[in-house]
Structure 1
Amino acid sequence: MKIHPTAIVSPKAVLADDVEIGPGVIIGDEVTLGAGCVVQAHAIIEGKTTLGTGNLVGYGSIIGTEPQDFAFKKETVSEVRIGNGNTLREYVTIHRGTKEGSATEVGDGCYLMVGSHLGHNVRIANRVIIANACHLAGYVEVQEGAVLGGGTVFHQFMRVGRQAMVRGGTRFGKDIVPYAMADADNFLSGINVIGLRRSGMKSETRQEIRRAFKLLFRSGLNVSQAVEQAATMQWGPEATAFFDFVRESKRGICPANQRKGDRDEGGESID
């Protein structure tokens, strides 16, 4: 174990034998750091916070502190839980849950870039990329493989579907459906074709997702009607998950723009 002499590490913290702690770091009583974790200079990890194996916590990051919620009570016992193989770059902030027994969660293999913020009770799935200065309010959910562009802000309780791509510098208050390109405030432009190809998704599966997208956004039906019609049709698991996401939405979903001849990110018509 390598702990810089200027670091303040609680004797109650649970640290794996090969953990590295940089200068000026503060590690609180209830922190657990798994094997291969590196905490760089001046980071602070407090509260009931657990990191799995192979995580990097960047310079000046702050993890496990109290949520920014006026209703929060200091005696509340809540957590931050972070999985394995994540990179949290400089000045990332992650707040713990706001309700008793709740948690803010990050999965495995995620990359959070400089200055990104996860508010209380945010849930991040595996292999999510969050670019610089993204701000996620309380209870935001980001599903597996999504990519969030820099400087984007997300309203509380909304969801970002799996393998969605979100353009930087935008704002969202409604759910972003799986596999979509979101490129304007609360608007979608098409399917994240390049991302789906890079993930190894088969051509026939991409085509089925395209048909699901057209049924939902280009058929002239409203959302409820499209979901009802989809229920009468046969779909593979990915398209089924697409419609399940829509059916479960509580904040409503972002609409797609309706300009004739819209094209998705892969340069292929979605009409």
Structure 2
Amino acid sequence: MGIHPTAIIEDGADLHPSVSVGPYSIIESGAVLGEGCRIESCVRIFGSTRMGAHNRVCHGATLGSEPQDLGFKPELARPLVIGDHNHFKEGVNISCGIKSEAGTRIGSHNYWMAFSHAGHDCIVGDHNIFANTATLAGHCEVADRTFLSGQVAVHQFCRIGAYAMVAGVTGVAQDVPPFALVDGHRARIVGLNVVGLRRGGFSQEQRTRIKAVYRLVFRSGLRSGEALARAEQEYPGPETRSIVEFIQSSRRGVVSF
């Protein structure tokens, strides 16, 4: 496929020979694109972007753009580091970093639907799905295999735990723990992400353990510390440890039922 004659590849951009670039796209000096990346039309990839192999970037997407931060200055820009096999649909926007040396980090095998967005200094794991216009404010952390539905808005510094699902048009102002399904104008736990757990290979025994832990932690009436300690004693297992560690490390508090 090669480089379209209308594309602009600035001197200093580092593209693997197998990279294809569509019409009217711009790749700035300093950008690095790995093997097999496919850049479609009218894409802009800013110079702070470091991209792995076999990523697809669709029409009108912007990667590594200036953060939406009133205090930003060009000399403060930090990298946007992207893994492998990600798919960025039309109009996706992901900001470069500004506050941390590591910058904004996106893992591998993520699917970003049209007009989804990740702000500066976000950390995103692997195999996540961001539906249309799903939005992460700055400094958010998303683990692995989550699903953020359409028009979800995640407040800055919030975390989304592994295998969680956030229903459409939900505002997330606190951490979403692993395996949970949350919904509402302000997110509340409304059950477990059972479909995601089944697809992820969790057994009936594991799903039952997760349900029991959530019942104990959120509905027993016990103080948080006591409930977490009892959960580890009564329902030992890696899923329990994951939930307990997530809640104990929360800075913004955790959404509840």
- In angstroms, what is the RMSD of aligned CA positions? 1.3
Match of 1:142 in 2: 142
Match of 2:91 in 1: 91
In structure 2, C-alpha distance between the alignment counterparts of 1:147 and 1:206, rounded to whole Å = 18
Question: Are 1:72 and 1:99, in contact at CA under 8 Å, matched by a contact in 2?
Answer: no
TM-score, normalization by structure 1: 0.91
Question: Are 1:76 and 1:100, in contact at CA under 8 Å, matched by a contact in 2?
Answer: no
Question: Are 1:145 and 1:162, in contact at CA under 8 Å, matched by a contact in 2?
Answer: yes
Number of residue pairs the alignment of both structures matches:
256
Could you say what secondary structure the match of 2:236 adopts? coil
Match of 2:208 in 1: 207
- After TM superposition, give the deviation of residue 100 of structure 1 in Å: 5.5
Question: Are 1:77 and 1:100, in contact at CA under 8 Å, matched by a contact in 2?
Answer: no
In structure 1, C-alpha distance between the alignment counterparts of 2:180 and 2:144, rounded to whole Å = 13
Match of 1:191 in 2: 192
In structure 1, C-alpha distance between the alignment counterparts of 2:255 and 2:64, rounded to whole Å = 31
Structure 1, unmatched stretches of 5+, are 257-271
- 1:210 counterpart letter in structure 2: K
- 1:143 counterpart letter in structure 2: A
Could you say what secondary structure the match of 1:3 adopts? coil
Match of 2:70 in 1: 70
- 1:142 counterpart letter in structure 2: V
Structure 2, unmatched stretches of 5+, are none
In structure 2, C-alpha distance between the alignment counterparts of 1:77 and 1:165, rounded to whole Å = 32
Match of 1:51 in 2: 51
- After TM superposition, give the deviation of residue 232 of structure 1 in Å: 3.9
Match of 1:263 in 2: none
TM-score, normalization by structure 2: 0.96
Percentage of pairs with the same residue: 39
Match of 1:223 in 2: 224
In structure 1, C-alpha distance between the alignment counterparts of 2:34 and 2:57, rounded to whole Å = 12
Question: Are 1:43 and 1:58, in contact at CA under 8 Å, matched by a contact in 2?
Answer: yes
Match of 2:242 in 1: 241
Question: Are 1:26 and 1:42, in contact at CA under 8 Å, matched by a contact in 2?
Answer: yes
CA displacement, residues 161-206 of structure 1 (integer Å, 9 cap, x when unaligned)? 1000110111010000100010112211011111101111122111
1:112 aligns with 2:116: no
In structure 1, C-alpha distance between the alignment counterparts of 2:100 and 2:202, rounded to whole Å = 40
- After TM superposition, give the deviation of residue 231 of structure 1 in Å: 4.4
User: How do 1:149-168 residues align onto structure 2 when only pairs under 5 Å count?
Assistant: 149-168=149-168
Could you say what secondary structure the match of 2:229 adopts? helix
Question: Are 1:87 and 1:112, in contact at CA under 8 Å, matched by a contact in 2?
Answer: yes
Misfit runs of 4+, over 3 Å: 231-234
- After TM superposition, give the deviation of residue 11 of structure 1 in Å: 2.4
Match of 1:267 in 2: none
In structure 2, C-alpha distance between the alignment counterparts of 1:222 and 1:251, rounded to whole Å = 17
Could you say what secondary structure the match of 1:228 adopts? helix
Could you say what secondary structure the match of 1:133 adopts? coil
In structure 2, C-alpha distance between the alignment counterparts of 1:183 and 1:166, rounded to whole Å = 6
Match of 2:38 in 1: 38
